[in-house]
Amino acid sequence: MLIALLVSVLASLAGAATSPTTALASPTPQNSQRPSRTAQQPTDPSVQVTLTGVTPASVTAKGTITITGTVRNTSKVPMTWVQVSFWRSRDPITDPAALDSVLASPVTVPIGERWFNEKNEASIDNVTDPEATRTFEPGQQASFTVSGTASQMGLTSPGSYLVGVHVQATPQGQDRLTVGRSRVLTVVSDATTKARLTPVVELASRPSVGLDGTFMDDHLAGELPGRLGSLVAAATNRHTTVLIDPALLDEVTAMAAGYTVNGKPGTGTQAAKQWLAGLAPLLSSGRAYRLPYGNADVVGAAREDRGVVLSRSRTALSPDNPASSLPLAVVDEAGALDRPALSLIVSQLHPQMVLSAAADPSRGSYSDAGTMLMPLTAGLTDGGPDQAAGPAQRRGRLLAQTALDSQAGRPVVTVVDTGAELDAAGLTATSKPEPWLTVTDLWTAIGTPSTSNPLPSSSKVPTVLSGSWWADQTAAARDAADWANVLDDPATTLKTARTLSRGVSLNLRDSERQNWLAQAMSSATQLLSGQSILLHAAESFVMSSSSNTLPLTVTNHLAETVRIKVKFTSEYPQRITIPTTSVVTIRSGETQTVRFSPRASSNGVVGMTAQLTGPGGRPLGSPRSFLVRATRMDDIGWIIIVVSGAVVLGATLLRIHQVRSRQGTAASTFTKELTEGLEEASQHHADRPEEQPAGKPADSPSDPPSVPQATDDAGRGSRSDR
């Protein structure tokens, strides 16, 4: 024990001998100093430090801060005398700009000081003994607890500070050095410390319903009693503003009525009923807004000047949705909104509230054509410094930034949609409220709107949706329109708008968008592929006249009624053509005959293709090929015979005229004879019996009317309908 005490005193003296800490009002790399040997950073991090708690999250100067966590040897060598000590920087962080610098600073800036002088050695924790009789092996993990009193550590002025831990050890074959660090933000308050926080609870989730209205997965069954249930409870108990995705309401309402996933009963019916019951008071609280349907990325759409995406989000919301009467709110956490995009959103959607991280927080709120624009405080629940996002870092960051922004006169608004963000905002049932922090709703936070627009005139911030995704959306919209055109269902317009609006949801990760869209559009893909609507045709048809009515059959294997037509393509349209059929309606499971009428101008055999299409002409499946043989040309043949007869008769009469002229026959007599001859030729055509086949007696019974012949797929002749 004496040896340990001696070592502790020596270490304390070494820490006191380090250079003064840097001021945090405007930290720069030039202010940083090279750490002493006892505080040097290893070339490769060798001990991983995880903070599991900082209590309380803020203190007065007389309060004691306790930090708990774990250390894990991530090196390849054992270590001896592993010691965790409390660390702090005594310089307060004075403004939001200084906080930004601290969050971006290396782990060694500012240097700060270790603290060893807490009563009962509470500020140090020896993971292994100072006598080095035990080792900390590679992969080994241990927990620690260290404490420090704010005033004794020099944290006397109210403000935001950096505190944390240093881990020192003696790795095998090396000198003693600092092998791990971790930092966290805290607030030291007094009676003058005041701040306001506006958390906005967002109720949205990854969409789970496809184009045909069926559930693609059952993830909501777990989210409703979990994350989404906690969010509803927090919004109800803390009287915060809540944003609700109408698509989520549609899905949960369908779950409560009973649903299936991949043909099996869903497991979330009871959870859906309970969640809707808990949500009901919020819908009528006056603190609720609705999001664009599906939580669609309307900011990205507006930046791309895609007004159709905005209009779809309106079409997708039916009047019977419980959120349809709520005012609309648009959220831009990415900070991609600019003035032209805002103008398009306002003109088409008329939102009551827009929350944007792109708005300059120093200007406060702004009103535009009845729309209130509020700045979002970027990164408030992201955690830090050192990109650490544990519960302690998240809570410390939120409190420190809220205190600094409130002191600078800025509104502090953050969107909360996860359990971790609920903890950071102090909205859980077990959270202890800070006496200096007031939680408000959106309208309380608005204050007096600014007269100048806080958005940039143009933005280069990448939108959530970009690249080929818009092309994918365009293709999906075309497929959905053709799908709706084929189905005899008035609800297809609503289903299409809902699916396409869900497809640009901010709750879909980039890596899953294409797979989600393909699954959601599978019903349209199946229909448009033609695999379930089958066209049947004989291999060849025989025409006995210049026009016949011939049959095809179509079988509908889908569960829905469809409307289709058949389009024909001729190899030699100058000889035979077939007009597109009219649209026919075929019920589910029905096989129906579709008749077509070829038009022939000459005899012969012509190849044809029949393509099944929707009413708008979208091809369904692959075309079917067949032959059409034209063998008799009744009307054209008679015309040729009559004309030929007239020519022969005319030539004969002309010869008679020439002979009689030489014999002196009067012209009037010739004219009369010519007229009688023409009338006799016409009468002869009218009384002429039907032409007999060659070699058949003229007085034999006439043949029955000829019938077009169709050859079936096996090559056998079959009689077709005229």
Determine, yes or no, domain membership for 687: no
User: 405 near 377, Cβ under 8 Å?
Assistant: yes
| Same domain (yes/no): 177, 244 | no
Contact present, 242 and 322 (Cβ < 8 Å): no
The reported pLDDT for the residue numbered 601 is 86
Assign 490 a pLDDT band (cuts: 50, 70, 90). Answer: confident
Mean pLDDT of the chain: 84
Any domain includes 714: no
Burial class (CB in 10 A: 0-12, 13-18, 19+), 471: exposed
Calculate the alpha carbon distances from 323 to 70, 275, 328, 504, 624 in Å: 46, 15, 9, 20, 49
Q: Picking from 39-53, 244-258, 303-317, which range would have the lowest pLDDT averaged per residue?
A: 39-53
C-alpha distance from residue 717 to each of 113, 542, 592, 709 (Å): 101, 10, 22, 7
pLDDT (mean) for 356-373: 92
What confidence score (pLDDT) does residue 662 get? 55
Q: Per the domain annotation, does 654 fall within a domain?
A: no
pLDDT at 16 over 70: no
Question: Looking only at Cα atoms, what is the longest distance across the chain?
Answer: 164
Task: Write down which residue in 446, 466, 497 finishes a domain.
Answer: 446
Q: Are 500 and 483 in contact (CB under 8 A)?
A: no
Last residue in a domain, options 584, 605, 633: 633
Which of 477, 456, 480, 505 is closest to 300 using CA atoms?
505
Alpha carbon 425 to its chain centroid, in Å, reads 27
Residue 479 carries which side chain, given as an amino acid letter?
Answer: D
- pLDDT (tens digit, 9 = 90+) per residue, 513-537? 899 999 999 999 999 998 899 999 8
Region label for 504, one of left (φ > 0), alpha (ψ between -120 and 50) or beta (otherwise): alpha
Q: Do residues 263 and 361 both lie within one domain?
A: yes
Task: State phi, psi for 296 to the nearest 5 degrees.
Answer: -65, 145
How many whole angstroms separate alpha carbon 601 and alpha carbon 582? 23
Mean pLDDT to the nearest integer, 289-309? 95
Give the strands of the sheet with 47-55, arranged side by side: 47-55, 64-73, 141-149
Same domain? For 188 and 111 the reply is yes
- Name residue 628's beta-bridge partners: 541, 606
Give yes or no: residues 173 and 264 share one domain.
no
pTM above 0.85, yes or no: no
Q: Are residues 203 and 177 in the same domain?
A: no
Range name among 61-70, 515-524, 690-699 with the lowest pLDDT average = 690-699
Name, in order, each residue with C-beta under 8 angstroms of 277's C-beta and a sequence gap of 6 or more: none
pLDDT recorded at residue 664: 53
The verdict on 129 and 210 lying in the same domain is no
Q: Would 488 be classed as within a structural domain?
A: no
Q: Summarize the confidence of residues 255-265 as an average pLDDT.
A: 96
Instruction: Give backbone dihedrals phi and psi of 428, rounded to 5 degrees, phi first.
Output: -80, 165
- Does residue 156 belong to any structural domain of this protein? yes
- Please report where in the chains the tokens 């179509």 appear, as a residue: 554
Confidence at residue 655, expressed as pLDDT on a 0 to 100 scale: 56
What does the alpha-carbon distance between residue 312 and residue 293 come to, in Å, rounded to a whole number?
9
DSSP string for residues in 466-499:
-TTHHHHHHHHHHHHHHHHHHB--TTHHHHHHHH
What total number of domains does the chain contain? 3
16-25, 192-201, 209-218, 369-378: range with lowest mean pLDDT: 16-25
Mean pLDDT of 52-75: 97
> Is residue 279 domain-shared with residue 311, that is, in the same domain?
yes
Neighbours of 140 (CB within 10 A): 15
Q: Would you say residue 17 has pLDDT above 70?
A: no
Provide the residue range defining the domain that includes 584. 533-633
611-656, pLDDT tens digit by residue? 999 999 999 999 999 999 988 555 554 444 445 555 545 555 555 5
Q: Which of 455, 423, 491 is nearest to 340 (CA)?
A: 455
- Mean pLDDT within 193-206: 97
Quick one: pLDDT at residue 546? 64
- Tokens 């939580």 belong to which residue? 295
Helices 492-503 and 307-315, axial angle in degrees (round to 10): 130
pLDDT at 369: 86
* pLDDT 10s digits, 337-352: 999 999 999 999 999 9
Helices 469-486 and 522-529 sit at what angle, rounded to 10 degrees?
60
Higher pLDDT, 143 or 710: 143
Report if residue 642 sits inside a domain: no
Same domain, yes or no, for 210 and 174? no
- Residue 469's pLDDT is 79
pLDDT, residue 2, reads: 35
Is the pLDDT at 40 greater than 70? The verdict is no
Of 595, 592, 564, 593, residue with least CA distance to 578: 595
**From 192-196, 233-237, 540-544, 621-625, the region with the lowest mean pLDDT:** 540-544
Instruction: Write down the pLDDT at residue 453.
Output: 92
In this structure, are 204 and 268 located in the same domain? yes
Helix axes 522-529, 513-520, angle to 10 degrees: 60
Buried b (16+ CB within 10 A) or exposed e, 266-297: bebeebbbebbebbeebbeeebbbbbbbbbbb
Q: Are residues 166 and 305 in the same domain?
A: no
Spatial distance between the Cα atoms of 191 and 435, rounded to a whole number of angstroms: 9
In a domain, 626, yes or no: yes
pLDDT band at 250 (very low <50, low <70, confident <90, very high): very high
Whether 582 is covered by a domain: the verdict is: yes
Confidence of residue 14 (pLDDT cuts 50, 70, 90): very low
The percentage of residues in the chain with a pLDDT greater than 90, rounded to a whole number, is 69
What's the start-to-end Cα distance of the chain, in Å?
Answer: 113
Q: What is the pLDDT of residue 34?
A: 28
Over its C-alpha atoms, the chain yields an Rg (Å, rounded) of 43
pLDDT tens for 428-486 read 988 888 999 999 999 889 888 888 899 999 999 988 777 777 888 889 999 999 999 99
Does 13 or 668 have the greater pLDDT score?
A: 668
The reported pLDDT for the residue numbered 679 is 54
What is the rounded CA–CA span in Å between residue 641 and residue 682?
Answer: 12
C-alpha 557/C-alpha 586 separation (Å) is 10
Mean pLDDT in residue range 160-177: 95
Angstrom distance (rounded) from CA 207 to CA 182: 38
The confidence score (pLDDT) of residue 470 equals: 82
3-class secondary structure, 163: strand
Q: What is the pLDDT of residue 38?
A: 32
Exposure of 699 in the CB half-sphere (CA atoms within 13 A): 0
pLDDT at 99 over 60: yes
Structure tokens at 705: 């009317």
* Same-domain pairing of 82 and 143: yes
pLDDT number for residue 705 = 38
Whether the per-residue pLDDT at 569 is higher than 50: the answer is: yes
- Asked if 235 and 320 sit in the same domain, the reply is yes
Is pLDDT above 90 for 387?
no
Q: How far is CA 210 from CA 250, 262, 436, 495, in A?
A: 12, 12, 48, 9
Where does a domain end: 601, 633, 665? Answer: 633
State the pairing for strand pair 177-189/58-60.
Answer: parallel
The reported pLDDT for the residue numbered 656 is 55
CATH code, 146: 2.60.40.10
CB proximity list for 578: less than 8 A, separation 6 or greater = 568, 570, 596, 597, 598, 599, 608, 628
